[in-house]
Structure 1
């Protein structure tokens, strides 16, 4: 929880610094009883009962774009204190913008108080973690009934101070137009004021307690745009070859691949931000396959947790085959019957649909045949397929397994194919 207290802690530290400074500064004796608050300006009375008062109001929070400049040592310490040493994203870096206003019902009270406050903050351009820790201890014990004291009571003040680290405080000088816009937005009476920038506060996501099975989805979700065979190949994906995934934000802290809607994750052999390469498992079934990129993170107990998964993309895993013919017989009318045995890589599942395709390797009115293969009782890497009423000749052999077709091999530069083939005479 200490993370969410960072903004309030910085405000509390600045308020206590102003209060403590008044105790030892002679300005308090000349002005009288002075209070320091951290309220919206429209909540402060400016009528006849206006009193000597310094108010610190956080009017804006902006993103600090220089988070990459933070030293790796500090970021590692910040993450360790926050209980998330392997955060998948950098911390949220914030700048806090404060309006410092002085109030007083008597002549020169507001000017004296504003001068005192600006002088004190000018002497303290950087607030170290030691100052923050001592100030937070003071703030949490002085008024134990306040909302901030009760919130701080549930965390380690030293850890909170170390997490905040060092805060740099610098004045921001507005022109009259900017000042007018700010006070118009506040919808209250103008009083002498100055603006300050406190930089920077880091907020990092932490894993909630008892959050087993619960994961925060980061914005940097991986996206698969294309799944393909490597360049300079026949652009056909088969078992045992390399598969290339292209997309965006593909590399995570731990990157794995899921195939075919299984819980088994594959370790890719090359991971880049826009491309991943992996070896297609030899036991993956030939068919249309789904593929996902999965980002994991290392948990505090040394175990991996799921973080985010990409969209599901599809690719076709083609079977590779060899074929030979046997039991050729004459069936009349110059036609043949035969048995063609096809060996598959990978194995064919017993429930997969298999079709045998034969194309005559001839330039003289070539014929083509198609045979639906009977179902099987078990997975197998070889099927003997009976064919009937086939014209004698040499045939190029292809098979389709759940629609995924086996590739052919080119015979020459002209683009002809010669294998796999069988001859039926």
Structure 2
């Protein structure tokens, strides 16, 4: 395999081959490797063959192959940089077109005779280059450029066109500097405690369904938009059964630890049902992701994650009159709301809370929030409150449908257990004059 000097080594090899051939027929000709605008500039009238590398492209056949004789089955490595090099061979005579044609003919005949380079022709042309060691032989192939391509190429260098021939040189393999990853060989397949330590063989199933436990859908009761504490969540998928243990994990972005629950009896391979506890001290309203951990043959497998929202529930609402005839609404909710860290000796809410009264939103009064006894970033029981106070002064007398919004999830207002659905009577607030 060759190193980063491979491109330069190819150019030097072509220069060497053409120079040796030219010397046998025309000792006065030079072989250069200059750009087109410099090869024949400044009034240079010396006979010359110029070799110009005008393009390099990735070789499609080799770009995703492992390095030969270096990577064994099961090992991984960066594929070599495989390149096709494109050269323009241009002849320069002494203001004589016939001389140009003769020089170009000699150069083309030399490349034709050496269409497949031998490693000995490459070895030694450039110090520290190991291009001659690569597995693939380097070939030289003439290519055809259209009139438009030729015009663009010479026009880029803003120089006068001279008779030329184009060639492709391939393939040049440049070895990656990244090391090969070679894992240890596998001693045996299958569990060592199965079949007396022998290979357990290939698992066969009658369909294309993945053999790993997978969650497909989550279903709330009565097609509610959100779940509440004390209600059942139905999980549907496949390969959810196990004779060992099944654990359903709930994760909330504000909780560092997952909440684990055990499915209700009667679970099958396609359906699990889990009941959320009524006690909400461990929970927060908001959005959750749920996964199922299935343990089989001593191995723990975890499903994909699906999301659902846990809605707060308004337990009680009381209206009172404070000093200065301020009307205050005290609301009790489940689960409790998380209190954040103290800010300048005052308590702030860690969750975003709003009370939707008909078509308006009210924010809780911070002076009625309990003090926080810890500065932990993870919600703990002494950082939560289920009692919130709102100022409803100026609200006109009447009956209002209300909702509590916590972290973007509203308490349920619509009762879907009946047809047609109705509003929950417990979500109505009566404001007297």
TM-score band, normalised by shorter chain: 0.3 to 0.5
TM-score, normalisation: structure 1: 0.46
Bigger-Rg structure (1/2): 2
TM-score, normalisation: structure 2: 0.46
* More strand as a share of residues: 1
